[in-house]
Each structure stands twice: as structure tokens, then as C-alpha cells.
Amino acid sequence: MLVAAAEPNVNKETGVLRGRDILCFSHDWNGDPLSKTHLIRILARENRILWVNAIANRMPTAAKKDMARIFRKLAAFAEPVKEVEPNIFVLNPLAIPAYGNAAIRGFNQRFLRSHVLRAMRRLGFRRPINMVFNPAAGLLAGKLGENTTVYYCVDEYTAFTGVSSGLKEIEDSLFRTADLVVVSAEKLLESKKALNVNMHLIRHGTDWKHFRGAIEPDTKIPAEIADLPRPIIGFHGLLADWVDYDLIRKTAERYTSGSVVLIGKIAVDAEEKIKVLNGAENIHLLGRKPYADLPAYCKGFDVAINPFVINELTLAANPLKVREYLAAGLMVVSTDIPEVRILENCLAAADHGDFLGKIETALLSGRSRAEISESVRHESWEAKIEELRGLIERTETEKE
């Protein structure tokens, strides 16, 4: 069953992204905070949100992690909509990620639409803004009584490993039919701009105040890294197949007297690739850590790394972690991803040898952590919402 309709606990002022009902199709709410999480939390201060948990973009494998996820999804589907934070209500959908099959795609569309509309009725949602972060949700775009549909695209989704056949067709249709398309990287803007005339670039922001905690005197470095040999070369984020594990191994071999610390969950698609790190005694795999604790770990790092392989997926990426490292006052070394080239205090390396050399450059930079952190102070998520507010206002005015 679903919760009963609630009186909106939002700012009574109405207008663009104020006092509105907003649908959000994204990743699972209980996952690590991503760009979508930060944006929606700010929007929830003045709007009501129906957050629809992940609709799968790929077929599951027989791996234990995928099987466990399927069982969690089945169990969650039976749960009522929950208000997980003020004005944020979470719905757990089910879909069969076989989008290349017309019959299954049609079933998914009807089933999901019925499920979402039922939740909207109980919550009293009317003429919402539909903010789609998940391309599979293109199945429903324009079919939920929306006032405005926004496709907020932050990745080259069809380049992910194991993506379901048929997803590209769904996403291309979403690009074409959305009232507004927002992308997070220049590469995405260049490759998709022919699909929609109302497409705009909003680069990622950062939770600056949170990560600024890394330079506060009362923030304590966690015990599990406090006494590790230095320099400590750190990483936090999903350990997926787009991470260059050979490069991480070379980094550990170059800095044998130091430590390489990797914080994050190991994705199913990386379980074989990450084995190249086995036997390196100065590589420390610490697993996933609570978001609240990340600034403390960053305080213990001497330099941060973004070691992505270079491919179609990563060239269109805008790694959120890089701005988080900078907010924490850390010099950053990255492989040559276009979106990091524009960031002060982030060194982009042309190849593996250059990457190792730039770690040394970063360690010897002499820049203070406070100075590095200040360089991204203006890139708050609140500022990004103001950019979005302006785009939606113009889009809705032109529709009238």
C-alpha cells in the first residue's frame, strides 16, 4: 500500500522550481550520493519530490551481487512509498531490462506507468515537472501528465558494460521529445546537440561545505589510515570497470615506501580486473565508507587520483569525485578526461608515465589545502540549481 496524500510542506511561494511537484527517475536513493541526490535535496527545500528508484539499464548476470540486488528489488517493490527526508518520497519500481523486445518493452511501459500514477494520486501530484536522470525511464516520459519533461543526462549511458539492447532507441527518443535537455559535459553536448534544439550544459557542482571539513582542525583522520606510510595516494568512488587498475598497480610500485588507499564498492563488472592489484602490500582496499566520513579520509590523503581508462564512456564523464577532492583541499592527478582539464589544481596526464610524474608534481606543489579548497567554493550545488531554474523558466514560458 501507499502512504496517504500529504499536504505539501514547502515554501508557499510558487513559480519556477518553487512549490512544485517533481518526479525524479534516478538511481536507488540508498546508494552513494550522486549529482542527482545533491540536486534533489536542494529542490526538496521548496518542492515535493517523488523519487523513483532505479529502473535497470542492463541485464543482470549470475553474479552473487546481481542476484542479491534482484531479491532486494523484489522485496522493496512490496513496500509503501516512504518519505525518506522532508518532501522526498521514494517509490520502488520493477521492470524487465529487455528493452529490445517490443512485447516486454510494452509490458514495462504499462506496468511502470500504472505504478507511478498510483503513487502520484496518493500523494496528490498534479502536472509535475518530470526530471529524468535514467534513460530507461524514457519509456514513461510524456505519459504521466507532466507539465514539463527534463532529461538530465550525466553519462554516455549506452557505453556502459552490459547495457540492455533497445536502451539506445529509448534514450534517443527521450532526447528528441524532452522539453529541455541538460548535459553535464561538453563532450555530451557536442555529440547529442543535434537531437534537441533546447539542450544546455550545466557542469557538476560540489558539496563544498561537507568536503571542506577535511581541512578543519577538529576533523580526525580515521585510525585505519592514520599511521600508514606516506605519501598516501587516495581514491574514493565506485571501483568499476572504467577504473584503470593497471595504472593503480604501477602507482603502488612507483611509491613502494608510500600507500595507495582505495575507498569504494567493487562493481560486478570489475571483479576480475581488480585482481591485478593482488599481492601489492601497499594497496589498501577499504570498501565503501559512509558519505559523512569521506572528508576525514580525504584529510589523511596527500594527493588524490582519478585513474580512469580512456574510452567512449569516460571521455564524456564529468567525475564528481574530482571536485570533492578539490573541496577537501587536495591536489588531484587524473588521466586525460576533458572535463578535468578546466579545473585548477587538477593535473591531467597524457599516459601512465606522465600520470606517475604528475603525482610527484602534485606532492611537491606547495599549495595550501585552504587555497585549493577555495578554488571550487563557487561551484556549489545551489549555484547549479539556479542555472537549472533559469533554463526551466525559459522553457515553460516558451511553451505557454
**Element (DSSP H or E) covering residue 313:** helix 312-315
How many domains would you assign to the chain?
2
What percent of the chain lies above the pLDDT cut of 90?
82
Question: Do 104 and 78 sit in the same domain of this protein?
Answer: yes
Domain that holds residue 57: 21-205+380-399
Number of H helices, E strands in the chain: 15, 14
Question: Do 166 and 227 sit in the same domain of this protein?
Answer: no
* Cα angle 380-385-388, degrees, rounded to a multiple of 5: 135
Q: What is the pLDDT of residue 65?
A: 60
Give the least confident one: 44-58, 236-250, 280-294. 44-58
| Grid coordinates of 201 | 550544459
Question: Do 74 and 148 sit in the same domain of this protein?
Answer: yes
Question: Do 308 and 388 sit in the same domain of this protein?
Answer: no
Q: Is residue 367 part of a domain?
A: yes
Residue 228 CB contacts under 8 Å (≥ 6 apart), including other chains: 259, 261, 284, 300
Q: What is the pLDDT of residue 64?
A: 61
219-226 mean pLDDT:
98
Question: Do 366 and 302 sit in the same domain of this protein?
Answer: yes
Residue 3's pLDDT band (boundaries 50, 70, 90)?
A: very low
Q: Is residue 228 part of a domain?
A: yes
Residue 111 CB contacts under 8 Å (≥ 6 apart), including other chains: 94, 95
187 pLDDT higher than 90: yes
Question: Do 147 and 258 sit in the same domain of this protein?
Answer: no
What's the rounded Cα separation, in Å, for the pair 14 and 40? 17
Question: Do 81 and 125 sit in the same domain of this protein?
Answer: yes
What's the rounded Cα separation, in Å, for the pair 251 and 304? 12
Q: What is the pLDDT of residue 78?
A: 58
Question: Do 90 and 27 sit in the same domain of this protein?
Answer: yes
Q: What is the pLDDT of residue 105?
A: 86
Strands of 20-102 (E only): list them: 21-25, 48-52, 82-85, 88-91
Residue 2's pLDDT band (boundaries 50, 70, 90)?
A: very low
CATH number of the domain at 299, please. 3.40.50.2000
Q: What is the pLDDT of residue 280?
A: 97
